[in-house]
Amino acid sequence: MRSPMRFNRLLATLFALVLLAAACGSDDDGGDGDTTTTGGDGAAVDLTGQSVEVAAIWSGDEQERFEAVLDGFEEATGATVAYSSTGDDIAAVLGTSIAGGSPPDVAILPQPGLLSDLAGQGALVEIQDAAGALVDSNYAPVWRDLGSVDGTLYGVWFKAANKSTVWYNVGAFGDAGVEPPETWDDFLAVLQALSDAGIPPLSVAGADGWTLTDWFENVYLRTAGADSYDALVAHEIPWTDDTVVTALETLAEAFTADFLADGSSAALQTDFPTSVTNTYSDPPGAGVVYEGDFVAGVISDETTAVLGTDADFFPFPSIDGSPSSVVGGGDVAVLLADTEAGNELIKYLASAEAAEIWAGLGGFTSPNQGVDSSIYPDAITARSAEALTAAEVFRFDLSDLQPSAFGGTVGSGLFKQFQDFLGDTTSIAAVTGDMEASAAAAF
């Protein structure tokens, strides 16, 4: 009876060896593509067989529209593009993938602060060769500055946002008998009138800290002026400064229990898309919601309201006679891996064609001057794009310019401190103290 035993033993040994081989063998992804035909200036490059990974914060409707842009790239070059959404915490997701050695080829960052952090870590590839010429010819100089660190160009601004648009429910305003306000005092009066009419006045997305930072930046730019804004961005004045306190006190005039639909604790649990759908529900859950021009995308995809008739916006009201000011945001495309397909994608995103694809779908403003403004699908987007370019004072979103530990991390830093402020608008001294402590730690 030794044969079966010996056979079993042999089988077992073989099995163990196979397991060992499987465990030790590595899974190599196909290397970069083979020969490509480099076309002449403007002609599409053939990247068949190559693949590019792109990561951005967009999900839902914005993701669909961006994937349409990527489809354009796939058609033009034959490459395969894989998109993954990182959610709001892009710093954490990218940080993990970079630390793990397998970052996406291209990432689209919502904050210049994150761009400088990554450039400082050496995670970015400079794109002067790929897109430098396009950036110089198609973009205003401010966008090149925002995409560079110490003079080296790392990012091209693909999407811009006018973050000084306040959206309202036209029907609700009609019922309350009010017109879009132009000054802050008129704005407070409008909120009061909405409240009298029995319509909850203001919808604030407190669960997402970034919306609260946008509120603050618009108020601060108007109460403290552009010079103080720049000083605060560079942390030359502390967050405990009087200008900050004044701005927070002004903001507290709108964030009162009477004006916030369902109160501040409900606001702290409302995320951005919900705050918009609440405003345009029937009956309206709120009369006014503030965020940037990308609200239009949420309105057209998630609600039955029609842009222009049911939903419209007015520019953020001026405070004490401040000039027309726009706080802008944007998303910058950066290159993380020096592959040919990645470089070509960056070049594509810097072109007007890529921008026009999304612009035609709505909810998108391009800082690219090569984009034909008639491509915008409705008067509303055209108006907000014009407001962006025609503002007397234009500044980039302050929280996005901060190091991302302070200005761009979910649950801590500015995001959290503004949420604390919304929860208790009398706690200004404590909140500014926390902000200054976080800022000091980050700078």
Partner 1 sequence: MTPEAELVGSSGRHVAGKELALALLFLVPAMLLLVVWLVYPVVFTVVRSLFDAAGGSFIGLENYGEMFTNDSTLTAIKNNAVWVVVGPTLVTAVGLVFAVLTERIPFDRAFKAIVFMPMAISFLASGVIFRLVYESDPDRGVLNAMVTAVEDVFREPGRYPGGRPVDPEQLTVEGDGFISDALFSTGDTAELGLIGIRPALVDEEAQPAEVPAPPSDGLSGVVWLDFTAGGGSERGVIDAGEVGLVGVNIEAVSADGSVAGRASTDDAGRFLIDGLDPGEYRLRLTGSAFREPFGGYEWLGPTLVTPAVIGSFIWIWAGFAMVLIAAGLAAIPRETMEAARVDGANEWQVFQRVTVPLLRPVLLVVLVTLVINVLKIFDLVLIIPPGSVQDDATVLALEMWRVSFGGAQDQGLGSALGVFLFLLVLPAMAFNLRRFRAEEQ
Q: CB of residue 353 vs partner 1: minimum separation in angstroms? A: 34
φ, ψ dihedrals at 242, nearest 5°: -60, -35
Interface with partner 1 (CB under 8 A), residue from 61, 62, 105, 117? 117
Rounded CA separation 394/318 (Å): 14
Candidate residues 7, 8, 11, 20; the one interacting with partner 1 per rule CB under 8 A? 20
Of the candidate residues 60, 174, 308, 360, the single one contacting partner 1 (CB under 8 A) = 174
Which residue is listed with tokens 């904050």? 111
Query: What are the residues whose beta carbons fall under 8 Å from the beta carbon of 84, sequence distance 6 or more?
Result: 53, 54, 55, 104
Cis-peptide into 104, omega within 30 deg: no
| Residue range at the interface with partner 1 (CB under 8 A); choices 240-248, 341-349, 358-366, 408-416 | 408-416
Binding piece for partner 1, criterion CB under 8 A, among 26-34, 128-136, 207-215, 368-376: 207-215
Q: Does 91 bind partner 1 (CB under 8 A)?
A: yes
CA-nearest of 419, 33, 379, 443 to 206 is: 419
Nearer to partner 1, 60 or 174 (CB): 174
Does 55 bind partner 1 (CB under 8 A)? Our answer is: no
Burial track 337-351 (b if 16+ CB lie within 10 A, e otherwise): bebbbbbbbbbbbbb
Contact of 44 with 76, CB cutoff 8 Å: yes
The answer to whether residue 413 forms part of the interface with partner 1 (CB under 8 A) is yes
Name 129's Cβ contacts closer than 8 Å, sequence gap at least 6: 343
The candidate with the shortest Cα–Cα distance to 318, out of 219, 191, 212, is 219
Please work out the total of residues on this chain that contact partner 1, with binding judged by CB under 8 A.
56
Stretch of residues binding partner 1 (CB under 8 A), selected from 238-246, 338-346, 389-397, 413-421: 413-421
Candidates 38, 265, 304, 369: give the one binding partner 1 (CB under 8 A).
265
Q: Is 415 in the site for partner 1 (CB under 8 A)?
A: yes
Using rule CB under 8 A, residue 392 touches partner 1: no
The residue type found at 174 is G
Tell me how far apart the alpha carbons of residues 251 and 204 are, in angstroms, rounded to a whole number: 12
Between residues 39 and 263, which has the closer beta carbon with respect to partner 1? 263
Q: Give the binding range for partner 1 (CB under 8 A) out of 33-41, 137-145, 385-393, 407-415.
A: 407-415
Q: Does 390 bind partner 1 (CB under 8 A)?
A: no
Q: Please, what is the minimum distance in Å from the beta carbon of residue 408 to partner 1?
A: 6
For the stretch 382-410, what's the b/e string if a residue is b when 16 or more beta carbons lie within 10 angstroms of its beta carbon? bbbbebbbebeebbbbbbbbbbbebbbbb
Q: Which of residues 313-332 bind partner 1 (CB under 8 A)?
A: none
Query: What gap in Å lies between CA 205 and CA 90, rounded to an integer?
Result: 19
Q: Which residues bind partner 1 (CB under 8 A)?
A: 9, 12-13, 16, 19-20, 23, 88-89, 91-93, 95-96, 99, 114, 117, 121, 174-178, 193, 195-199, 206-209, 262, 265-266, 268-269, 271, 283, 403-413, 415-416, 419, 423, 442
